[in-house]
Amino acid sequence: MRTVLLANGKNIDSLILDEQAVPIPSRGEVRVRMKAHTLNHIDLWVLSGSPAYSVTLPHVMGSEGVGVVDFIGEGVGPDFSLKVGDSVALSPGQGCLVCELCRSGSESLCPSYRVLGGHLPGVFSEYVSLPATRLLPVPPSVSPLLASAVTLAGATAHQGLVIRGGAQAGERWLVVGASGGVGHLACLLGLALKLEVYGTYGPEKKKTVLARSMDIPLVSHESQDWPETVMRLSGKPFDGVLDTVGGATIPRILPLLRKGGRAVVVGETTGSPTQFPTRELFGRQLSLHGVYLAHRSDILAMLNWVSHGDIRPIVTDVGPLTSIAPLQNAYRRMSERDFVGKLGFVWQ
């Protein structure tokens, strides 16, 4: 079987397409024949040697993927209701499943929480064997590539907007970084929830692609006065802001909130803020939430939205992996932010 390996260095040029034996499931595991994968920013952190994801080489890449059940190993419990041939999504993150945090739905707070492709070997292989607890059913109407897009980025958007942000129909929300994986899915989810959604994006060329998928006011955050432009368009402060950029944008988003408003930060790609606006935070009684990935319930919720046609992720297929070149080019596009939504590939 083909496997995407980070072989002898932590950079894009060290990626190879390797031939390996099809895995034999250990006790409690299920083998999945993979159909499609999508890329995530975690991949770039691994490729750059980030200490947050310190991997041992050679390392199998990838956190996101969807396939079909190929073989059910010994020791898989009776509560596993899926059968051979069923479409399944892989849950990228998982805790111990037995502590109070895991049992209460706060799985990503578990001290044992680990992420496929980051803390653990990844899933960019034609076959993977994983604990049955990591597999979730995919509705038949959802294609593997679209389903893969919501397993991590979409689930993070749901966790940030619905669970931590508490977004309610009729509220006004701003998504900073609306052209990225989490950002565009947060916008689409917001529209499905009947929020009044505004979005920011980077280079001007991204606006056309975004506008085809969502009818919302869009402003480039590369403009120095983008917060003022957003406020002029809105006419009044926001109930919530979901920020996928973080860092230097945080001092600029808090003044956009109404008294008692909520800010949810799900990423940091612009470095640390030079001065944190403490007075804004306590003076106007704002809530500031951090979200790191999500829970399996968020994945299931997003798959449900996609299956009913309420959300359609923007996914660009980078082409079949007859060689490693298409994937290397896709990662270069990611590092240069030369894409909108998600990038992915299918096995053929």
107 against 342, higher pLDDT: 342
Beta-bridged to residue 18, according to DSSP, are 3
pLDDT digits 0-9 by tens, 297-333: 999 999 999 999 999 999 999 988 889 999 999 999 9
More confidently predicted of 275 and 223: 223
Residue 286 burial by Cβ neighbours in a 10 Å radius (0-12, 13-18, 19+): buried
Residue-level pLDDT at 52: 84
Instruction: Answer whether residue 250 shows pLDDT above 90.
Output: no
Q: What pLDDT is stored for residue 316 in this prediction?
A: 94
Distance CA 32, CA 71 (A): 7
> Is a pLDDT exceeding 80 seen at residue 105?
no
**Over the chain, what HEC string results?**
CEEEEECCCCCHHHEEEEECCCCCCCCCEEEEEEEEEECCHHHHHHHCCCHHHCCCCCEECCCEEEEEEEEECCCCCCCCCCCCCCEEEECCEECCCCCHHHHCCCHHHCCCCEEECCCECCCCECEEEEEHHHEEECCCCCCHHHHHHHHHHHHHHHHHHHHHCCCCCCCEEEEECCCCHHHHHHHHHHHHCCCEEEEEECCCCHHHHHHHHCCCCEEECCCCCHHHHHHHHHCCCEEEEEECCCHHHHHHHHHHEEEEEEEEECCCCCCCCCCCCHHHHHHCCCEEEECCCCCHHHHHHHHHHHHCCCCCCCEEECCCCCCCHHHHHHHHHHHCCCCCCEEEEECC
| Percent of the chain's residues with pLDDT above 70 | 98
pLDDT digits (tens, 9 = 90+) for 28-85: 999 999 999 999 999 999 999 888 888 999 999 999 999 999 999 999 988 899 999 9
Confidence of residue 270 (pLDDT cuts 50, 70, 90): low
Least confident of 27-31, 95-99, 149-153, 234-238: 95-99
The mean pLDDT value of the chain amounts to: 93
What residue ranges define each of the domains in the chain, with the CATH number in brackets? 2-138+314-346 (3.90.180.10), 155-290 (3.40.50.720)
